Amino acid sequence: MGRFHRHTDGTVHEHEHPDVRHDVGDHTGYRESGTVRVEVLENLLAENDRVAAANRLDLERAGVRCVNLMSSPGAGKTTLLRRTITALSGTLQLGVLEGDIATSLDADELASLGAPVSLVNTSAGFGGECHLDAVMVRSGLGRLALSDLDLLVVENVGNLVCPAEFDVGEDARAMVYAVTEGEEKPLKYPVMFRAADVIVVNKVDLLPHLDFRMDRFLGHLRDVNPHARVIHASARTGEGVDEWCAWLLHVHGTPTQRG
């Protein structure tokens, strides 16, 4: 099985077979004639990252800090945001970019609490509903008066896989994790747990009713991400919301006593 292959026209092309396992359709040593292999070597996220950089620049110029808020479906992002808007009113002008078409009700409610909301339709295209990418966020930014804002929170689509792969131009990444999700999640979804700067461990009000072993969860979390800050919270009772808001203020650059 040579690395080189002679074609009918006499040209020789190199077969590049790096030391990897072929998960699908192993084609080692096989190629039909009349085919040329073209090296591409392009990062699939290159285009996304270019647009993310443009978003970051626009936000920076407008003096807006941006937090990408991610979680599995229903972990409590919107509920936490509701509390956050109220808690920070008068301190920071918050804006919200919502990546979920099903939550126009949520959006109306967040807006009524005093935060401008930009809804981004993520349903276009196959599998397009599973995350926000930089291009979608860019379209959402266009509908916000950035100069009026201090901090923008992007509520990503509830999904533990795709959102972590896409930079949208944020300054920091936050993840809401609900204690109802089980202790093994960090090991099953390491990309997102590793990407997060802060993990809000939400729904702690339910702990008395669950056999959730917090130390086990925290151990798994430390294994994949030793640096993330952990905030125990309940968006229902309001516990931990102060600490979360202090972190947001820290991201914004506002000096606080608690930091």
Ligand X SMILES: Nc1nc2c(ncn2[C@@H]2O[C@H](COP(=O)(O)OP(=O)(O)OP(=O)(O)O)[C@@H](O)[C@H]2O)c(=O)[nH]1
Contact set with another protein (CB under 8 A):
7, 9, 16, 18, 20-25, 27, 31-32, 34-45, 47-48, 125-128, 161-162, 164-165, 187, 189-191, 194, 223-224, 226
Nearest residue (CB) to another protein, 53 versus 161: 161
Nearest residue (CB) to ligand X, 79 versus 91: 79
Taking CB under 6 A as the binding criterion, the range among 19-27, 51-59, 68-76, 130-138 that sits at the site for ligand X is 68-76
Alpha carbon distance 26, 109 (integer Å): 52
By CB under 6 A, the residues from 124 to 163 that bind ligand X are 158
Alpha carbon distance 120, 138 (integer Å): 10
Interacting partner of 210 out of Mg ion, ligand X, another protein, none (Cβ under 5 to 8 A depending on kind) = none
Among 58, 74, 243, 250, binds ligand X (CB under 6 A): 74
Rg (CA), the chain: 22
**Closest residue to ligand X: CB criterion:** 158
Among 56, 79, 111, 130, binds ligand X (CB under 6 A): 79
Coil, helix or strand for 74? coil
In the chain, the amino acid numbered 154 is: V
Integer distance in angstroms from the first to the last C-alpha of the chain? 61
Burial class (CB in 10 A: 0-12, 13-18, 19+), 100: buried
Closest by Cα among 149, 147, 128, 135 to 67? 149
Interacting partner of 75 out of ligand X, Mg ion, another protein, none (Cβ under 5 to 8 A depending on kind) = ligand X
Alpha helices in 92-184 (DSSP H): 104-112, 134-141
Closest by Cα among 54, 41, 62 to 167? 54
**Closest residue to Mg ion: CB criterion:** 78
Residues that bind Mg ion (CB under 5 A): 77-78
Which residues bind to ligand X, rule: CB under 6 A?
Answer: 71, 73-79, 100, 103, 158, 202-203, 205-206, 234-236
